[in-house]
A and B are shown apart, each in its own frame.
Chain A
Amino acid sequence: MQTICAFDRLIPGRGVAALLGDGTQVAVFRLLDDSLFAVSNRDPFMHANVISRGLVGDRGGEPVVVSPLLKQAFSLASGACLDDASAALEVYAVEVIDGEVRVGARAEVEAVA
C-alpha cells in the first residue's frame, strides 16, 4: 500500500489520479458520504488515463464513475462497465490511516488481512 495524499485534499464527489511506484495510474474517488473507491485510471475504450476526471453518482443505487471521454459508466465497487460487458476497470484497495489515503493492489490487501 502506498500513501498518496491527505484525505482532506480530496473533494467530496470527485476523483484524483495517483501514480504508483510501478508506474500504474489509479483513480481515487471520495463520495459525498466520505466513502472511498479506487479503480484503474485508464479508459479501456480510448486508452487515455482520464477516469479520475469522470463524474460520479449512482445507477440504480450502484456507485459509478462515468468516463469523461465517451461517457460509459463503470461500477466503482466491481469495475464492471455497465454499458459494455466486454470492458472493465481494475479495482484497487484504498484505506485511510491517520488522515492519509493509501492505495494498493487488491492482492496486497488480501495478503495483509
Chain B
Amino acid sequence: MSKLVVIGDGMVGRRFLEAVVQRDPSWDVTVLAEEPRPAYDRVRLSAFFDGVGAEELSLASDLPGVDVRLGEPATSVDREARVVRSERGEYAYDKLVFATGSYAFVPPVAGADLDGVFVYRTIEDLEAIRARAAGRRHGVVIGGGLLGLEAANALNLLGLETRIVEFAPWLMARQLDEAGGGVLKQHIEKLGITVDCGTGATAIEAVDGRLRMATNRDDLVLDTDLIVFAAGVRPRDQLARECGIAVGERGGITTDLACRTSDPDVYAIGEVAAMEGVCYGLVAPGYAMAEVVADRLAGGEATFPGADMSTKLKLLGVDVAQFGAFDGPLATTYLDPAGGTYAKLVLSDDAATLLGGMLVGNAEPYPLLRASVGGKVPGALADLLSSGEVEGTLPDAAQVCSCNAVTKGRIMGAIAEGCCDVAELKACTKAGTSCGSCVPMLKQLLAEGGVEVSKAVCEHFTQSRAELFDIVKVTGITTFSELIARHGTGAGCDLCKPAVASILASLGGGHILEGEQAALQDTNDHFLANLQRNGTYSVVPRIPGGEITPDRLIVIGEVAKEFDLYTKITGGQRIDMFGARVEDLPKIWRRLVDAGFESGHAYGKALRTVKSCVGTDWCRYGVQDSVKMAIDLELRYRGLRSPHKLKSAVSGCARECAEARSKDFGVIATEHGWNLYVGGNGGFTPRHADLLLSDVDSETLVRTIDRFLMFYISTADRLQRTSKWVEGLEGGLDYLREVVVDDRLGICAELDALMEQHVANYADEWKGVIDDPEKLQRFVSFVNAPEAPDPSIEFETVRGQKFPAGTTARSHAQPVLLGTPERK
C-alpha cells in the first residue's frame, strides 16, 4: 500500500482527505495535526462567540483508513529518507502534502508578547480572549481588514467598548476604495465602535493590570484591557524551508498549477501554497487545490482552475461585498451617504462587460453581479446602482457558487433532472453549502428553470398553509365550510381538509371530532388510531419520556392479551399494540384511560414522543436530569397540532444516548444547563439538528422551544418538517435566533400567548371520545350492524403472535435475507 502523509488538519487538509478517501481509498494515510481537535470551520470561527460550540464548528468526518494524529505537530521532514518526524514518531511517505495554513502576523511591536495580547486564528485563541474579556470593559483591535472587523465585532459581542486601529487610510483597503471604506466606517461607528485609520501601534506596556498602547500619533495613547492583532496572515512554510523545498519571495511554498512543489513527490495546498507566486487567503481556492491533488494522486491531470476572490460579509447587519476587478478602465459609482449605501461597478472601456465592483450597505445584487463578471452587465445600470434591483439572465458558464465552483449550467442541469428546491440543489450540486451567499441566486434559477414555486395548498386554495393560518387567526373563522366559501373554491380534498383541521386545532379549536371538524380529519385522526394494511388499527398510549411503572406495563400487557393484539416496542420509546378492530377501540381505550393512560397521538400531525436517556438518576455520566426534562416537555406539548409530526429527545450529557440531534427539537445537558438543537430529522432525509442556544437554564429553554414551535406552526408549509422549514428560512439559523430569542419581529409575546393557550386547553382526545355517546357511535365496522366485526379480516400466527392473514406468504414473496438460527 502506498503511504501518504499530510501535515496539517485544517479546513483544506480535511477537504483533501475526504476527496482522497472518496476517489482512491487504497492509500495508507497518516495526518499530523498540531491542533488538539480535528479540523473545524475557521470561516465561521466568530460564531463561537454567538454560543456555537467547538463541536458544532467541527468538520470531523469518518475517514476509513486515515490515521489522524491530533496534537502531534510535524517537526521535520527528511526528503532523503522520505520520512516526516514528530516528537512522538517517524512516518514514511511515498507522497507528502503540506496543508499547514497560515499564522496570524504580529508586527514587531515592543510588548506584543504581554498577557492580554492575542491573535484571532484558532478556537484556543477565542477561548483565551473570552476568558480575558470577562469582567473587563475595553478592547482594541489592530487591523481594519476583513479579519479585524470580525474580531471587533466579536469584542463588541463580548460586551467590550471596542476600538479599531488601522494603518491604511481607510477600512478594508484591500477590498474597498476610499468612498466605500468611508461609508463602511459610518456604519461601524453607528454600532458604537471607534475607528482610527492611518495609524498603527508602536509599543505596548503593562500598567496596573491593564495595557497601554502607544501609536504613531502622539495624541493617541490607548489604555485598554486587551489587544487583538488582526494585521494579516503569513504562510506556515518554515518546515518546508528547512528541508530545502522552494518557497516564494514573500513566503509560501512555491507550487505549479498542479500544486506540485519543487520536489515532485511533495504537494502544498491551502493558505501555505504560493501558487505561481500567489498565496490565497480564502478557503474556496484552497478547496479547489485539495481537489486538484486528490485527482493527481488518483492518476488524473487536474489543474487549478483559477480563483474567485469575491467576498461578502455581514457584520451586525452591515453588508459589504467585493467581486471581480477592484478597479479598471471605466467605473460608475453611486453614493448615498444618508442611506449609508455605496456601489461601484467596474466596466470594460466600451462599458459592455462587467469586470467587477463593490457594494456597501446593500449587497442584494451581489450574487447576480458576481456571477455576471466577464459578461454583460445585467439590467439597467442606473437601477442597479440606485435601487439594487436587478433582472436579466446569466450565461451557462457563469459561476453561481464560487465556494464550490458550481456554474449556472450545472444548476440548470440539476433542475432539469428534477431538483425542485434549494435543499435538493444543495444536496446534489453542493452549491450554497458553504458561505450561503448564492442561495438567493439558486432560488432565482429555480424560477428561471420553470420550477413551480407555488405554495398553494391544493386546487381549492391558492394560499399557502402559512397564509391560511394567518387568515384563520385574523378572521377568527372556525369552520372549514366558511373558510372555503370565503377564501377558496369547490368542496375541498384530502390535502386541504387535514391542513385546515390542523390549523383550527393549533389555534385551539376544541375536540378534533367535534361538529364539522370531524369531517376534515384524515382517517387516522378520525379514529384516533393508525390504520393498518388490513383495515385494523394500532393503539399507542403516551409514555412520557419513555418512563413507565411496572403496574402500567402490566395494564398494557393485560389489554393486549384481552383484545388479542400484537405488541411491539417502538422506535419512540413506547409500546404499540396492533390489530385492533375498529369496534374494539373504545373498549381498549376505556381500559387504558382508567389506568391513567392518554392518547399518544401516533396518528396525528402532532407531538409524538420526547425520548430520554436515564440521565443523572442512574447514569454515572449524567449532568442534568434528562428524564424529568423529557417528561416535562412531553406533557407541555402533548396534543399540539402542527404542519407535520414533531419529535424530541433529551440526553443527560454529550454522549447523547437519546439521539436528540435527530429530532425536531433536541436537548442535550451541559455542566451549566442545556443546549437546544432544532431542525433535526430521521426519516427519508436525515439531518442533524442545529445548535440554537447553549448553556441555558430550564426556563429559557422551555420558553425558546415554545416560540420555536409556535413560529414553525404559524409559518411552515403543509407537511413540512422542521428540518426543511429551518433550511428554507431566509437568513437561516441566525434569523431564527433573532426572531425567537431577540424578538426582532416583535412577535414573541404573541407566540408565548399561543403556547399558553395550548397548554391551558389541552385535554386527552380519547377521554373526550369514551365519555361521549355520539362520538362513540362512529366506532363500528357497519352502521347497520354495530356489533358485527368485519368478516373479511383474518389473522395468522407468526413467532407466537397474531399478524394479518397472508403475512407468511408475503414474506416468502420477497427475498429472504436472513435465516433464523437452527432449532435444537
Q: Which A residues contact B (CB, under 8 angstroms)?
A: 2-5, 9, 11-14, 16-19, 23, 25, 28, 31-32, 42, 46, 48-50, 53-61, 63-64, 66, 68-69, 71, 73
Contacts and interface: CB of A to CB of B under 8 A. Distances in A.
> Would you list the 6 A-B pairs with minimal beta carbon distance, nearest first?
A13-B519, A57-B493, A68-B523, A48-B535, A16-B783, A66-B494
Contacts of B782: 16-19, 25
A75 B523 CA distance: 18
A57 B491 contact: yes
A13 B784 contact: no
A29 to B, nearest CB: 10
A17 B582 CA distance: 12
Contacts of B518: 11, 14
Contact of A17 (B523, B777, B783): B783
Nearest to B481: A32
Chain B CB within 10 A, most for which of A2, A3, A50, A69: A50
Interface in B486-507: 490-494, 496-498
A59 B459 CA distance: 8
B523 A54 contact: yes
B790 interface: yes
B788 interface: yes
Nearest to B490: A58
A53 B784 contact: no
Contacts of A71: 494
A59 B777 CA distance: 30
A24 B713 CA distance: 43
A55 B499 CA distance: 13
B519 A49 contact: no
Nearest to B492: A57
B781 interface: yes
Contacts of B520: 13, 55
Interface string B505-535: 0000000000010111011101100010111
Interface string B750-785: 000000000000000000000000000110011111
B523 A5 contact: no
B791 interface: yes
A25 B790 CA distance: 9
B523 A19 contact: no
B792 interface: yes
Interface string B458-469: 011000000000
Contacts of A14: 518-519, 526
Contact of B783 (A9, A56, A66): A9
21 contacts: A5-B784, A9-B783, A11-B778, A13-B516, A14-B526, A17-B781, A25-B792, A46-B533, A48-B792, A50-B523, A50-B531, A53-B523, A54-B494, A57-B490, A57-B491, A58-B493, A59-B493, A63-B491, A64-B493, A68-B531, A73-B494
A18 B790 CA distance: 10
Nearest to B785: A19
A89 B782 CA distance: 18
Nearest to A17: B782
B55 to A, nearest CB: 41
Given A12-B519, A48-B535, A64-B493, 12 more contacts: A13-B519, A19-B781, A19-B785, A23-B791, A32-B519, A53-B531, A57-B493, A59-B493, A63-B491, A66-B494, A68-B531, A69-B531
A66 to B, nearest CB: 4
A77 to B, nearest CB: 13
Nearest to B480: A13
A56 B521 CA distance: 11
Contacts of A25: 782, 790, 792
Contacts of B516: 12-13
Interface residues of B, number: 36
B783 A31 contact: no
B333 to A, nearest CB: 56
B497 A55 contact: yes
Contacts of A66: 493-494
A108 B783 CA distance: 22
Contact of B491 (A16, A50, A58): A58
B157 to A, nearest CB: 50
A50 B459 CA distance: 25
Given A5-B783, A13-B516, A13-B519, A55 B490 contact: no
B264 to A, nearest CB: 62
Nearest to A30: B519
A53 B784 CA distance: 16
Given A12-B519, A13-B519, A49 B790 contact: yes
A53 B85 CA distance: 73
A101 B653 CA distance: 62
Contacts of A31: 491
Interface string B524-562: 101100010111000000000000000000000000000
Given A49-B792, A55-B494, A58-B490, A18 B784 contact: yes
A13 B526 CA distance: 12
B522 to A, nearest CB: 7
A55 B520 CA distance: 7
Interface in B765-824: 777-778, 781-785, 788, 790-793
Nearest to A58: B491
A27 B498 CA distance: 21
Given A12-B516, A59-B493, A69-B533, A4 B783 contact: yes
B784 A55 contact: no
Chain A CB within 10 A, most for which of B516, B533, B791: B533
Contacts of B790: 25, 49
Nearest to B783: A16
Contacts of B490: 57-58, 61
Chain A CB within 10 A, most for which of B778, B781, B791, B793: B781
Nearest to B791: A23
A1 B817 CA distance: 52
A60 B459 contact: yes
Nearest to A2: B784
Contacts of B522: 55, 68
Nearest to B532: A48
B652 to A, nearest CB: 40
A97 to B, nearest CB: 15
A48 B788 contact: no
A59 B534 CA distance: 27
Nearest to A48: B535
Contacts of B519: 11-14, 32
Contacts of B497: 55, 57
Contacts of B784: 2-5, 18-19
Contacts of B534: 48
B700 to A, nearest CB: 41
A71 B497 CA distance: 14
B579 to A, nearest CB: 13
Nearest to A20: B784
A11 B533 CA distance: 25
Given A9-B783, A11-B519, A32-B481, A57 B494 contact: yes
A64 B459 CA distance: 14
Contacts of A64: 493
Given A14-B518, A48-B535, A53 B493 contact: no
B531 to A, nearest CB: 5
Given A4-B784, A17-B781, A49-B790, A55 B531 contact: no
A13 B534 CA distance: 24
A50 B496 CA distance: 21
Interface in B14-49: none
A57 B783 CA distance: 22
Nearest to B782: A19
Given A18-B784, A55-B493, A58-B490, A48 B523 contact: no
A90 to B, nearest CB: 15
B252 to A, nearest CB: 61
B133 to A, nearest CB: 58
Interface in B166-218: none
Contact of B788 (A9, A12, A19, A49): A19
B786 to A, nearest CB: 10
